[in-house]
Structure 1
């Protein structure tokens, strides 16, 4: 089966006819279809298929218990109305790269694994990379069991409804011990490769990043009868904080976005009692990120005080800077440049990935495929067919260099 036929099979799953975007949320029907597709691809190739204690899917060529395996893959879930490439490109390319190596009659000296990590985007339960965090021990079972979606469904309830055992979740050091190297291919979430004219690049590091929840609590009241001077309207300091986030990020050379907001009671003719907004902020260095978030919170408190509104700020997740394994990163660059003699671009990214979660436990690296628009987390996300094939061939070259004679 070719890359193109696999891609065509997966393309309609979880796609909204209204927006053209994807809604492949963890432990939903669309997620189940994606998981069924993964299992089918593994079985078609005669690979050993398994699901681990945290719901991550694995397909193995060779004996994984032998250790020192080379693993590749990504995720199949999406953000709300996300694009087709973020995550799935890495999984489809993994199967296609294995097909390419078999066509080359490559002789494998190490086990090779393909993985689909569950709930990478965090779209349903608000925390990114749940599957890989649990596996790496960066999220405890107790913390995971407290995660809930917007409807109040807990993660264990959602897993159980999907046919998985939530009582089994937790750290998986034995599985991590199997992995000698993990290489994740991903569409670039920016335009660096488009600007250099290269179809494929190697990742250097992931910027430090996190998510903070800002709760502005005021007083619910009638929108038509309450004088402006008598209002404690939490929407006002929230709006001013959104603008402050933009200013702080611009000043520091970072990024900061309030991309999600919840309002209660959420009535057109009611002054809100609560406005809850989620901040996502990222920067090249830790000190810069600290400065930006501190500046945003300072501005938020000043605006809240000015309007008689209470403010609570909670850091919901945080990932420090992730430097990918230098030796593995440099080896990838040498493998990809050996035939052409060209220098492969090495670039940083502000996006989080499962590879970043695993980087503290196993040698990890990433490949990026050019995104001509730079748009991501949107239906406009794109990579050309030629660049996708170039990515498959690059991943095959890397796997051959790491796992074959």
Structure 2
């Protein structure tokens, strides 16, 4: 499975993946998922929001156990973020069948669409729509960098954007959702453990900072006469790092758009996107407010206007304690090594979106370097296999 999936959407220059929603690479990933489902005799379907499902048993029976993740990527992302969860889900099902497990509940593997938000700027679109946490009209109006709307992209890919929206009946039939994911940090590596259980997801969001200045000639305009938004932006980037460090939080400007974007021109506009995360919502709100204040104060000095727009926000997610504790007990009981590590994460996931509607939990597989959202993202094969075994043990305990 890993070999078959590995080449899809990989960029020859960077070595990273560019599997963006509703592109040819995404279509190829979806074809791979369908082949894995039908090859195992599972009932394959695509829901109204473009999420793919592979069912063992009757989906209408209720109290289903669902596992899976996503197949799309960030720009030049790694091979494991998302796909490891989908591949491991199919592998865990294979393991359970090899054990001769008797299923008493329906089991499904899912691939949620557009989890990373790399193309349209909003993460977890597929799961947000399903859970009723994204207005369908707002979703259809999302645009990529080329001005293509989500509705247009779905239509070109053969899906009906008019059908998207909440899917409460589907969610009501799910008794538990378990997502396996590579850890996006080094906590497990520092504890020398291959697998862990998530306790919570930090609150996080994306904010767009617009800096409006005045275009002018870089070679003739006196420094004193400039209204340079790039200067204000650069100062804001440094302020975000300092404010995050003081708050024990995280703040990153990872994307920037400049106009007119000429080497010998002072910019007229700089638009930067802030990703901010913290252990609690009060800390996060204070952090973003402090960064905005720093930007505004510097803008006043530079003669630059500053506007901040919140584009997305996900509150803190506490995974269902009973399900989380049961997962930890099932993994510990199945193997040596003592209690399984239980750890929080600053990364968002489909499991976090669904947590308000269904009991959800997450398993993490060790990431020896902690690097993620990068071609250098990696995991050892033995650890990945340990993750499959742990997921199989969990699914057996929940569904068999």
- TM-score interval, normalised by the smaller of the two chains: over 0.9
Give the superposition deviation at 1:146: 1.6
Q: Deviations over 1:308-343 (max 9, x none)?
A: 011110000000100000000000011011134610
Give the superposition deviation at 1:145: 1.3
Specify which of 109, 125, 134 is matched with residue 114 of structure 1. 109
Give the superposition deviation at 1:178: 1.2
**Is structure 2 residue 278 aligned with structure 1 residue 283?**
yes
Aligned to 2:234: 239
CA RMSD of aligned residues (A): 0.7
Matches of 2:262 and 2:375, distance apart in 1: 30
Specify which of 378, 388, 395 is matched with residue 384 of structure 2. 388
Aligned to 2:321: 326
Matches of 1:190 and 1:228, distance apart in 2: 43
Question: Once superposed, which parts of structure 1, at least 4 consecutive aligned residues long, lie more than 3 Å away?
Answer: none
Matches of 1:176 and 1:322, distance apart in 2: 18
**Is structure 2 residue 359 aligned with structure 1 residue 352?**
no
**Is structure 2 residue 390 aligned with structure 1 residue 400?**
no
Matches of 2:86 and 2:117, distance apart in 1: 18
Give the superposition deviation at 1:397: 0.3
Contact 2:184 2:370 in 1 (8 A): yes
Unaligned runs of 5+ in 2: none
Aligned to 2:180: 185
Aligned to 1:367: 363
**Is structure 2 residue 256 aligned with structure 1 residue 270?**
no
Superposition pairs for residues 127-166 of structure 1, below 5 Å? 127-166=122-161
Matches of 1:18 and 1:143, distance apart in 2: 35
TM-score by length of 1: 0.98
Q: Match of 2:17, SS?
A: coil
Aligned to 2:219: 224
Contact 2:334 2:393 in 1 (8 A): no
Matches of 2:63 and 2:106, distance apart in 1: 7
Contact 2:67 2:109 in 1 (8 A): yes
Residue correspondences, number: 399
Q: Deviations over 1:102-133 (max 9, x none)?
A: 00010000000000000000000000000000
**Is structure 2 residue 287 aligned with structure 1 residue 316?**
no
Q: Match of 1:261, SS?
A: strand
Unaligned runs of 5+ in 1: 1-5
Give the superposition deviation at 1:227: 1.5
TM-score by length of 2: 0.99
Contact 2:243 2:290 in 1 (8 A): yes
**Is structure 2 residue 247 aligned with structure 1 residue 258?**
no
